[in-house]
Structure 1
Amino acid sequence: MMKVKLSVLPALILASLSLMLVALCPVHAYAAASYKISGYIAPDFKFNESQAAVLKSGFTAELAGTSFKAQTDIEGFFSISGIPETTSGTLVIKKSGYLARNISFTNIKSDISIGPKEGPVDIWPGDIDASGVINMSDIILMAGSFNAVKEDSKYNESCDFNLNGAINMEDVLFVAKRFGNTSENYPAAKLVMTTPSATPTPSSPSGTPGIRYDGRFDFTNPQSPKFAWTGSSIVANFSGTEVSATLKSTGENWFQAIVDGKVMTPFMVNSQSTVKLASGLTNGEHQIVLWKRTEASQGEVQFLGFNFGSGKLLAPPPAPERKIEFIGDSITCAYGNEGTSKDQPFTPKNENSYLSYAAITARSLNASANFIAWSGIGITMNYGGAGGQLIQDRYLMTLPQSGVQWDFKKYIPHAVVINIGTNDFSTVTPDKTKFINNYKALISKIRTNYPDAHIFCTIGPMMWGSGLESCKSYVTDVVNDFKSKGDLKVYMMEYPQQSETNGYGEDWHPSLKTHQLMADQLTKEIKTKLGW
């Protein structure tokens, strides 16, 4: 028997315990530091805001030889995260019809930003055959589709760089501008290194899976919320290769899905239906936006959920900090804006609020928006003296057909844009006192709910003649009354009368081009007044 001194026993016991703990307890491996590469991308030619979502989206940014990749959203933004520390490689930016751009980096030890929003990385159109050079092969392909429109069999979307549905001299000039260039001819991109705000820690979930709802929603049943107002949207991030949505509609409602910034073909729901929004996606993280194109008068909708197949729901994207509320009639609803003639009657399919002046303005300002609009509505009378509630009554509602009231504390906008009065002057001139008093009461209600909001009282662009002059005079009196009492955040703004040269939508309503012009004017005005 081995004899051990008592004085040695404590040390032996501690050593034995330590060995036992090592054997019994797992070693905790901490995740290595990782970083992200992000930035903004845009085509190397001028385009207007109505084209921006389609033209900026769909670029692929990937690390060559790896599975790290992302697609740009409607603002041209991409973000690739989880890149291990000390990685060196080449970021390849590409899209069908464009000359791939290669941006190299070495020994990554921080987040990398390329191309800020105000100065995105340019990508050159013209490499139709994806050979890495813009040459005669591309000209030959262009010639084979020249003068083709979208409906023609020889139409090749890769040659239609501005996506206007026609391959013409404008597209040829894009190729000519960069003829003979290869990917090596791109100027060096500026890489901005961003030091992380804290030491990297073991990986953890980025957030709780969930869905973001933009607009007025009734959550009486939290699992199946209801909504009605135009422009209401449902936003989610998910991982997987597909996404479907189940909706229940009380009328003919049209929707727009935007997947990873790509605007998909609109679809209609008039009962309960499950619709495949996207399939065959690359197996990774994606974003879905489900947008209600049609107005509240088309009926209420109940959202019964997304289905991601074998994929899963992730944490939703954060809501924009800037907020705008729009109050209006058919103009704000985008009534018939996708129609092609003033002689066409209204069709729900051609009402696209995603391309309304209001929605374009909100996207231009990186703001969320609530849209409270109803075709034919007025503030003293509806179109042609029709019955029904006036705007100041419907403004109070979450679900205007069911009478569910809205809680104004749920959404406090920085700016409120009113476009009302066109229907009041549709057949006769309304009583001036009644119009002014009703308008002032609406603004007072807004001011009570939103003490600091900037309020824009706008008129046009459908009015003309004496009706326009009277409406302008009445609204000016309203605005001046508030200013005289010290409220200097109430403004008057007039849109120019719509022009035949810009086309008309259905029933003489503003065309897509007119909506764009309105958005340009309003965006500039809001930027000036709010300093955005």
Structure 2
Amino acid sequence: MSRIISPHDPALRVMGRIDDGNPDRPVWVFPYTQMSFRFTGTTLSLTVINHHDYGDSRIGVIIDGTPYCIRIPIDSRPVTLTLASHLPDIEHEATIYKRQDGEHYLELLWLAIDDSAEIQPPSVPEPARRIEIYGDSVSAGERDEAVLYAGACDPDVDLSPYSNSWLSYGAIAARKLGAQLHDIAQGGASLLDGIGWFHAPNYIGMESIWDRIEYNPSLGPTRQWDFSRYTPHVVIVAIGQNDSHPNDFMAQEYDGDAARHWRARYADFLRALRGHYPKALIICTTTVLKHDPSWDHAIDETVNTVDDPNIVHFLYSRNGSATPGHPRVQEHEEMANELVGFIRSHGDDIWSD
């Protein structure tokens, strides 16, 4: 016998841009979406429906400080995932989180613990600091666990099982800063629709993702996000690397029509963010993934054009030059440390509501 726990049980602390229109069946879309809690007993399981588009779906769980990765079957029916078994019958601390981006949506049905077990809120208070990231595969932690390929191109195989949002630079930085994080990141996302890598051949960019709670047309209709539900103190805009596909127009003709149009749309995106977040520190950046420096020059020029003292441009020490493949955990830790230092340089007042 097991005790069934609803996904909206008050003991569960959730974090992330979650579609909870039906609180009994919330849908996790974005990477690093999570729930944390304490429980007693020897077992823990989660029953879900995996809405799958591509890749090999995995879910992450951390129990008593130890991380685990569980494969989610590609099945449109409910499946029960055993997250832990044969634990000592004591109190445990757990966080369940979404490892991957919108390659799949995860519909939560229920948790199950031992019939006589108890569930309680996490032992530490919810962080008061709040961060939000708008990014691509790097911000999602895509392929970051393929550590033998650090500094090298990705091998031509499916590396989705090696994607782990927990070890992405933004998640590492948020934990170092004691902050919540909404990670609005999608592998292959450009800024603009019609270019990039996501949802080929009808490419979808961040301009069709950033204000949505669901956005992948392969998995159903889009839904708008209510920005009043979460107001970050720090916003990181980490896009502009995938826009070079299929044509690297910023490098080829910096003052051409396509490049000037991109810079204007980037400025519009920053102004739209400012409209929702009047006080936030907005940090514009790319990553250490190799790309032409013209994109960073374009971002710098656009930030200066917007002329907002709380919208700033940040470059990593190895920006755009560290690796031709996806950054691995080593590079994510390097980025996180530099980003934390930059955020801290702005003082503690940035965290004031």
Q: Tell me, yes or no, whether TM beats 0.5.
A: yes
Give the Cα separation in 2 of the matches to 1:343 and 1:454.
34
Corresponding residue number in structure 2 for 1:48? none
In the TM superposition, what whole-angstrom CA distance separates every residue of 1:56-103 from its partner, at most 9, and x where no partner exists? xxxxxxxxxxxxxxxxxxxxxxxxxxxxxxxxxxxxxxxxxxxxxxxx
Which of 186, 191, 215 is residue 400 of structure 1 equivalent to? 215
Give how far 1:498 is off.
Answer: 6.1
Which of 125, 145, 164 is residue 338 of structure 1 equivalent to? 145
In the TM superposition, what whole-angstrom CA distance separates every residue of 1:452-491 from its partner, at most 9, and x where no partner exists? 1000000232234xx31x21221111211233xxx21111
Give how far 1:283 is off.
Answer: 2.8
Name structure 2 gaps, 5 residues minimum.
1-8, 251-257
Give the Cα separation in 1 of the matches to 2:74 and 2:18.
19
Give the Cα separation in 1 of the matches to 2:100 and 2:347.
30
Give the Cα separation in 1 of the matches to 2:244 and 2:204.
17
Q: 1:443 to 1:269 in 2, by over 3 A?
A: farther
| Letter of the 2:86 counterpart | G
Question: 2:284 touches 2:311 (CA, 8 Å); kept in 1?
Answer: yes
After the TM superposition, which of the residue ranges 308-317 and 358-367 deviates more from structure 2?
Answer: 308-317
Secondary structure in structure 1 of the residue aligned to 2:263 = helix
Corresponding residue number in structure 1 for 2:240? 421
Give how far 1:305 is off.
Answer: 1.4
Alignment of 1:92-131 (within 5 A): none
Corresponding residue number in structure 2 for 1:374? 186
Give how far 1:216 is off.
Answer: 1.1
Task: Indicate whether 1:388 and 2:193 are aligned.
Answer: no
Give the Cα separation in 2 of the matches to 1:519 and 1:437.
29
Which of 104, 107, 111 is residue 302 of structure 1 equivalent to? 107
| Letter of the 2:179 counterpart | A
Corresponding residue number in structure 2 for 1:270? 74
Question: 1:498 touches 1:510 (CA, 8 Å); kept in 2?
Answer: no
Which of 249, 260, 270 is residue 50 of structure 2 equivalent to? 249
Task: Indicate whether 1:510 and 2:327 are aligned.
Answer: yes
Give how far 1:214 is off.
Answer: 0.7
Give the Cα separation in 2 of the matches to 1:508 and 1:422.
12
Question: 1:498 touches 1:514 (CA, 8 Å); kept in 2?
Answer: no
| Letter of the 2:277 counterpart | Y
Give how far 1:213 is off.
Answer: 1.5
Alignment of 1:54-453 (within 5 A): 209-251=10-52, 252-271=56-75, 272-296=78-102, 298-310=103-115, 311-316=117-122, 318-339=125-146, 340-341=148-149, 342-345=153-156, 346-380=158-192, 381-383=194-196, 386-401=201-216, 402-426=221-245, 427-430=247-250, 431-453=258-280
TM-score normalised per structure 2? 0.83
TM-score normalised per structure 1? 0.56
Corresponding residue number in structure 2 for 1:12? none
Give how far 1:393 is off.
Answer: 1.4
Question: 1:227 touches 1:399 (CA, 8 Å); kept in 2?
Answer: no
Give the Cα separation in 1 of the matches to 2:154 and 2:342.
33
Q: 1:448 to 1:475 in 2, by over 3 A?
A: same
| Letter of the 1:264 counterpart | Y
In the TM superposition, what whole-angstrom CA distance separates every residue of 1:507-529 from its partner, at most 9, and x where no partner exists? 71112111111111111111111
Alignment of 1:24-35 (within 5 A): none
Corresponding residue number in structure 2 for 1:149? none
In the TM superposition, what whole-angstrom CA distance separates every residue of 1:264-301 from its partner, at most 9, and x where no partner exists? 244334333212212233333222111111111x1211
After the TM superposition, which of the residue ranges 229-238 and 274-283 deviates more from structure 2?
Answer: 274-283
| Letter of the 1:390 counterpart | G
| Alignment RMSD | 2.1
Give the Cα separation in 2 of the matches to 1:428 and 1:497.
18
In the TM superposition, what whole-angstrom CA distance separates every residue of 1:364-410 from its partner, at most 9, and x where no partner exists? 11111011111221113532695332202111111112301111111
Corresponding residue number in structure 2 for 1:77? none
Corresponding residue number in structure 2 for 1:70? none
Name structure 1 gaps, 5 residues minimum.
1-207
In the TM superposition, what whole-angstrom CA distance separates every residue of 1:87-130 from its partner, at most 9, and x where no partner exists? xxxxxxxxxxxxxxxxxxxxxxxxxxxxxxxxxxxxxxxxxxxx
In the alignment of these two chains, the number of paired residues is 313
Give the Cα separation in 2 of the matches to 1:530 and 1:323.
15
Which of 284, 303, 310 is residue 489 of structure 1 equivalent to? 310
Q: 1:490 to 1:268 in 2, by over 3 A?
A: same
| Letter of the 2:311 counterpart | V
Secondary structure in structure 2 of the residue aligned to 1:264 = strand
Give the Cα separation in 1 of the matches to 2:305 and 2:321.
32
Question: 2:70 touches 2:81 (CA, 8 Å); kept in 1?
Answer: no
Secondary structure in structure 2 of the residue aligned to 1:459 = coil
